[in-house]
Amino acid sequence: MIRKYSTYTYLFYIPTEPSMTIRQLRNYIDGRFEDGATTFDKHSPVDGRLIAQVHEAGRDQVDRAVAAAHRALPAWAGLPVAARTDHLLALADGITRRFDDFLQAEIGDTGKPVGWAGKIDIPRGAANFRVFAELARTLDMESYMTDTPDGRQALNYAYRKPLGVVGVISPWNLPLLLLTWKVAPALAFGNTVIMKPSEVTPSTATLLAEVAHEAGLPAGVLNLAHGFGPDSAGEFMTTHPDIDGITFTGESATGAAIMRAVAPGVKPVSFELGGKNAALVFADADFEAAVDGVTQSVFANCGQVCLCTERVYVERPIYERFVAALAERARALRIGWPMDPATEMGPLVSREHREKVLSYFALARAEGATVVAGGGVPVFGDARDQGAYVEPTIWTGLAEDARCIKEEVFGPVCHVTPFDTEDEAIRLANDTRYGLAAAVWTQNLTRGHRVAQAMKVGLAWVNCWFLRDLRTPFGGSGLSGIGREGGRHSLHFYTEPTNVCIKL
């Protein structure tokens, strides 16, 4: 029996007995849903039960998807911008109309709390289409009036054409958000797309294909190929001679593999990769705001956000007090059923990923960490013990060259280190091969600007975290990625400019 009650605009289901429906997740090629030659299982990270069979696309199906995308490209790119972006608004409307289906699917795949999926993942899935539809309609065109030696002038302008057929390969942590963060601008700027969601979280990509089909998106414009990376749909795409560009979000090592795969074709890539993000807490910070903010930036989505904080540096006068306050918040986090509105942290995305996170819990001990909070696996005494839950964890006492300080864990864990001077804090935060995000907590805004600018990252927040304006450049440097997306930065990746110069 499922007990449900409605609160505000959402229906909350607190499962007392799991639904036994095992969904069939199929590919979407040239406007038709297709089985794969083989299927693979998707299990719930909450209680381990089988929740879907996923149809793996074969190489022939990826080939047909690419061919269909090429056939659809001229008409799609040739649509008036208003007509093309109307299709994006229809996709946004479809996601909104099927909000609960997307909510259930995303939570079923990831185990993330309904409070997070209902406020972040699904709304951003629709918002990404709306924002890029608006942008495509309003972006200016780069042009210059050029003085010429004969005293007259020339007009120079950058005429932008779509890249062509774009491969979108996305990760499992914010599945719908990060898929649509790439699909929306690719479509808005006239490209056609093959999307390859993570094998770990295939459900909302399948729903997106359903919404596209229901909305009458022309066949071949948006295609879906389920599968894995190596020797599966991911690699079939990155090595495909007729895919014109790859936009990828995922691990840095995978980014390197994809770079090698596209190299023979010298194709453009947009990479949003891993991170080992720092938070700097100065003694003059609003203490409670900093504790709240760092609690959120460390433990949100069970620490499975590329922007999450895994290194916290605290000015020494408040260090002990801050560690104690953060540990108290970690221990108080409500770890529970994803559909319970009171749940603040769900499980990790899979048992396999939990093994990786637990290996770092063990490594930290071996490297000499003091485990201030957590460090293990919660025991519920119910079906959740078959899931992938871990305790929110805080370490101190590690040397800055420890592997747990240098390597991305991608779980609900951070290490806290004291510092004495601003220069030391900046040096410590920047001592990483990653370069994605940082957060600075201080009430001295002159220092806030100065320290944020000194961070070798793509995104630096001051007295906030994960506050997003979708027009801003998003991405990182070093092991955290290549390029930026967001606003006009997406235009620059998903289009090729021709500079036209006309003598007047």
Ligand X SMILES: O=C/C=C/C=C(\O)C(=O)O
Name the residues annotated as catalytic: 272
Q: Dump strand ranges (E) for 94-208.
A: 143-147, 153-162, 165-169, 192-196
Residue 31 binding: pick among ligand NAD, ligand X, none (C-beta 5-8 Å cut-off by kind) = none
Query: In this structure, are residues 389 and 348 in contact, taking their beta carbons and an 8 Å threshold?
Result: yes
- In the bound state, the residue with its beta carbon closest to ligand X is 306
Cα–Cα distance list, 469 to 277, 294, 308, 326, 410 (Å): 19, 20, 17, 28, 24
Edge-to-edge strands, sheet with 393-396: 370-373, 393-396, 413-419, 309-315, 277-281, 437-441, 459-462
Judge whether 25 and 52 are in contact, CB under 8 Å: yes
Nearer to ligand X, 141 or 467 (CB): 467
With CB under 5 to 8 Å by kind, the binding choice for 429 among ligand X, ligand NAD, none is none
**Cβ 221 to ligand NAD shortest distance, Å:** 21
Q: Which entry of ligand X, ligand NAD, none binds 181, CB below 5 to 8 A by partner kind?
A: ligand X
CB–CB of 28/34 below 8 Å? Answer: yes
Measured distance CA(44)–CA(109) in Å, rounded:
6
Query: Minimum CB separation from ligand X for residue 452, in Å?
Result: 18
Q: Shortest approach of ligand X to residue 182 CB, angstroms?
A: 9
The residue (of 27 and 204) whose beta carbon lies closer to ligand X is 204
Give residue for tokens 């290194």. 311
CA torsion, points 474, 477, 483, 488, in degrees to nearest 10? 30
Q: What are the residues whose beta carbons fall under 8 Å from the beta carbon of 1, sequence distance 6 or more?
A: 16, 17
Tokens of 88: 């994006």
- 349 token code pair: 């995305």
In the complex with ligand NAD, the residue whose CB is nearer, 108 or 175, is 175
Question: Whose CB is nearest to ligand NAD?
Answer: 229
Closest CA to 224 of 64, 55, 27: 27
192 binds, among ligand X, ligand NAD, none (CB under 5 to 8 A by kind): none
Q: Which does 273 bind (CB under 5 to 8 A by kind): ligand X, ligand NAD, none?
A: ligand NAD
Please report how close the Cβ of residue 481 comes to ligand X at its closest, in angstroms.
Answer: 11
User: Closest separation between CB of residue 280 and ligand NAD, Å?
Assistant: 20
Name the residue among 178, 394, 384 with its Cα closest to residue 303: 394
325 binds, among ligand NAD, ligand X, none (CB under 5 to 8 A by kind): none
| Amino acid at the residue 261 | A
Q: How far is the CB of 362 from ligand NAD (least distance, A)?
A: 20
Query: 313-339 as b/e, with b when 16 or more CB fall inside 10 Å?
Result: bbbeebbeebbebbbebbeebebbbbb
Q: Which is nearer to ligand NAD, 87 or 276 (CB)?
A: 276
Q: From the list ligand NAD, ligand X, none, pick the one residue 468 interacts with, judged by a Cβ distance below 5 to 8 Å according to partner type.
A: ligand X
Residue 119 DSSP label? I
- Determine the Cα–Cα distance for residues 454 and 405; give it in Å rounded to an integer: 20
Q: Which is nearer to ligand X, 47 or 310 (CB)?
A: 310
| Angle of the 287-299 helix axis to the 319-332 helix axis, nearest 10 | 50
> What is the C-alpha separation between 247 and 123, in angstroms, rounded?
22
Q: Which is nearer to ligand X, 305 or 373 (CB)?
A: 305
User: Residues in the site for ligand NAD, rule: CB under 6 A?
Assistant: 169-173, 178, 196, 198-199, 228-230, 234-235, 238, 249-251, 254, 257-258, 272-275, 306, 408, 410, 436, 476, 480-481
In the complex, the residues that contact ligand X under the rule CB under 6 A are 173-174, 178, 181, 305-307, 468, 474
Q: Which does 296 bind (CB under 5 to 8 A by kind): ligand NAD, ligand X, none?
A: none
Which entry of ligand X, ligand NAD, none binds 238, CB below 5 to 8 A by partner kind? ligand NAD
By beta-carbon proximity to ligand X, the closer residue of 246 and 306 is: 306
Q: Rounded distance, CA 208 to CA 19, Å?
A: 22
Nearer to ligand NAD, 56 or 391 (CB): 56
- Is 447 or 468 the residue whose CB approaches ligand X more closely? 468
CB 170 → ligand NAD: shortest distance, Å? Answer: 6
- Which residues does residue 55 pair with via DSSP β-bridges, in sequence order? 39
Least Å distance between CB 58 and ligand NAD? 15
CB of 231 to ligand NAD, least distance (A): 9
Q: Residue 229 to residues 194, 245, 301: CA-CA distances in angstroms? A: 14, 17, 24
CB atoms within 10 A of CB 6: 8
